[in-house]
Structure 1
Amino acid sequence: MTNAQVTRELSNGTAIPVVGLGVWQISDGAECERAVTAALEVGYRLIDTAQAYRNETSVGRAIRSSGVPREEIFLTTKFYPGGKDARVEAEKSLERLGTEYLDLYLIHWPQGGPTWAWPGMEAAVEGNLTKGIGISNFGADEVRELAKVAQIQPVVNQIQFSPFEYRRGLVETCEDAGIVAQAYSPLGTGRHLDHPAIAKLAESTGRTPAQVLIRWAMQKGLSVIPKSVHQARIEENFNVFDFELDDDAMASLDALDTTGSTSDALSKSGKWWS
């Protein structure tokens, strides 16, 4: 499908689709399998899970039964940093997923500091367990700290990102380091959909609020992974390739930021992974 071929090239030479399905908070079992199956049928080719989500088995089952060749699917999972060895945990993920390799393996958040788990991540690449490695929820300082010691540089930083959490400073730091930023919770886990400014733009463009939010993040250069378990919304979230937001619309969305264009991964004080 044409939409599935819209990608961004990563620094390791692979290409990541600009829209994917995130499966955070989707229960292991039939619900997760249905969501992944629906996404692949619509044309998604990026599926994002994590060890902490406890649904890798269902994701793998849906991928295998989809009929879509494995090499056409960009599969991401994340190392839970409560574990001790990222390489060992990658092997366990592959077992649960029922696949021989990952396309991307991320440190889920920088618990215990941003560098200690990286040798295990690099070992996962060297062991051909994953094509690429990256990070999630790393702020600019943590990105820079990791860059100093990494033998293999991260290719992605997955961050909370929407017009209301417009982490401009963090995205710029990532881009300067050759890291593609990826947006999770682009819809604010649903809470942004009813905002008057979003509704107004949706009406003027003839699109839905979700499509406006996803399109904004895409036009900022990010890969975007909205989550849904509803087939109609999964399809809606993917139908974002046939329109563009103009400069005025983009500027009005930019102005919704509540983070002060932060370079931090979290807006609130303190760190929830500590």
Structure 2
Amino acid sequence: MRREIEIAPGVAMPLLGFGVYRVPPGHQTERVVGWALEAGYRHVDTAQAYGNEADVGRALRSSGLSRDQVFVTTKFSAGRRDPEAELERSLERLGLETVDLYLVHTPRGGPRRAWPAMESAHERRLARSIGVSNFSTAEIERLLPAAGVKPAVNQVQFSPFRYRRRLLESCRSHGIELESYGSLTHGEELDDPTVADVARRLGRTPAQVLLRWAIERAVAVIPKSVHEDRIRENAAVFDFQLSGEDLARLDGLDRSGAAAIAVERPWWTFSARARAAARRLLRSPLLRS
């Protein structure tokens, strides 16, 4: 059963990754990444904005795994000035010489602004591949004519409830792979009757069904949890498949209207006060899975 996809020449990305968005920096990040690596995850997704790159690096070093056994992604915070210099700092925090994938976190400042320095970082082999996150079809189309190296990946919010068909099709037509965040809908849709029914029939958890739905489309997923049992459960997605009927039922849950956009509420356009309020909300224990 397929476990990885080629995103650039010689660069294979595991379809199952572990995300550390909203995992508090420090011991907790180091601990949960360690659990994920023990559970078989071989892809870790972090970002400069998360503030936990150093903790990810410590977990990698403590794992006993060789560098080529773990695919590492980080992201450039588009509010900062220089993607190349910021990647050098990220590598210091991670304790690595290169990352496997470096993404522009948002199209803030315009879809082309960061790309020349992203390409320079790639040319220097600070990143084995480069890509974008939260880019719509229109933003991809604006970037491509100016790109000497096309984005390998576009990481976006993607699930049966946000089944962005037009964005997926557009990216694929340009040879860009889609990667999903928010696959588990922050827990909001795990009790959806259709998801629950498919999970019950297969003897799986709703989370496993949602992750498998994306993997069936060769869309990588990066679920996050701070609970060891859930981390292990979420890794068990390669020993079952969804039937055509299951996929059709889950496809029918889409509320995006087959969108060509990456996210309904682009938080990077909010005011500083609104962003601070959103960060406080996201740190609430009630939202942690």
Please tell me the TM-score bracket, short chain as reference.
Answer: over 0.9
Quick one: which of 80, 85, 103 aligns to 1:83? 80
Residue 196 of structure 1 pairs with residue 217 of structure 2: no
Deviations 1:176-215 (A, max 9, x none): 1101100001000111111111111110111100000000
> Does residue 187 of the first structure (1) align with residue 184 of the second (2)?
yes
- Distance in 2 of aligned mates of 1:177 and 1:196: 36
Q: 1:70, CA displacement in angstroms?
A: 0.9
In the alignment, what sits opposite 1:27? 24
Would the aligned equivalents of 1:185 and 1:227 in 2 still touch at CA under 8 Å? no
1:107 equivalent in structure 2: 104
Q: CA deviation at 1:226?
A: 0.6
SS in 1 for 2:41: coil
Q: Does 1:168 align with 2:165?
A: yes
Aligned to 2:204: 207
Give the whole-Å Cα distance in 1 for the aligned partners of 2:233 and 2:180: 17
Residue 158 of structure 1, aligned match among 155, 158, 179: 155
1:37-56 paired onto structure 2 within 5 Å: 37-56=34-53
- Give how far 1:249 is off: 0.5
Partner SS for 1:16? strand
Q: CA deviation at 1:82?
A: 0.8
Q: Secondary structure at the match of 1:10?
A: strand
CA–CA distance in 1 between the matches of 2:8 and 2:129? 9
Backbone CA RMSD of aligned residues: 1.1
CA distance in 2, matches of 1:213, 1:27: 25
Of residues 117, 137, 141 in structure 2, which corresponds to 1:140? 137
Aligned mates of 1:128, 1:218 — CA distance in 2: 29
Distance 1:221 1:141 in 2: 23
Instruction: Supply the distance in 2 between the matched residues of 1:219 and 1:190 (Cα, whole angstroms).
Output: 21
CA distances 1:43-70 after superposition (whole Å, capped 9, x unpaired): 1100000000000010000001100001
Q: Using the aligned pairs only, state the percent identity.
A: 51
Q: How far off its partner does 1:12 sit?
A: 3.1
Q: 1:121 aligns with which of 115, 118, 122?
A: 118
Q: How many residues are treated as equivalent by the alignment?
A: 269
One-letter identity of the residue aligned with 2:268 = W
Aligned partner (choices 54, 57, 64) of residue 57 of structure 1: 54
CA distance in 1, matches of 2:194, 2:251: 11
Amino acid at match of 1:91: E
Give, in whole Å, the separation in 2 of the partners of 1:158 and 1:21: 14
Q: CA contact under 8 A between 1:39 and 1:235: conserved in structure 2?
A: yes
Corresponding letter in the other structure for 2:267: W
**Aligned counterparts of 2:30 and 2:187: Cα–Cα separation in 1:** 21
> Which segments of 5 or more consecutive residues in structure 1 lack a partner in the other structure?
none
Gaps of 5+ in 2: 270-289
SS in structure 2 of the partner of residue 273 of structure 1: helix
Task: Determine the structure 2 residue equivalent to 1:67.
Answer: 64
The match for 2:7 is: 10
Give runs of ≥4 in structure 1 deviating > 6 Å: none
1:273 to 250, 268, 275: 268
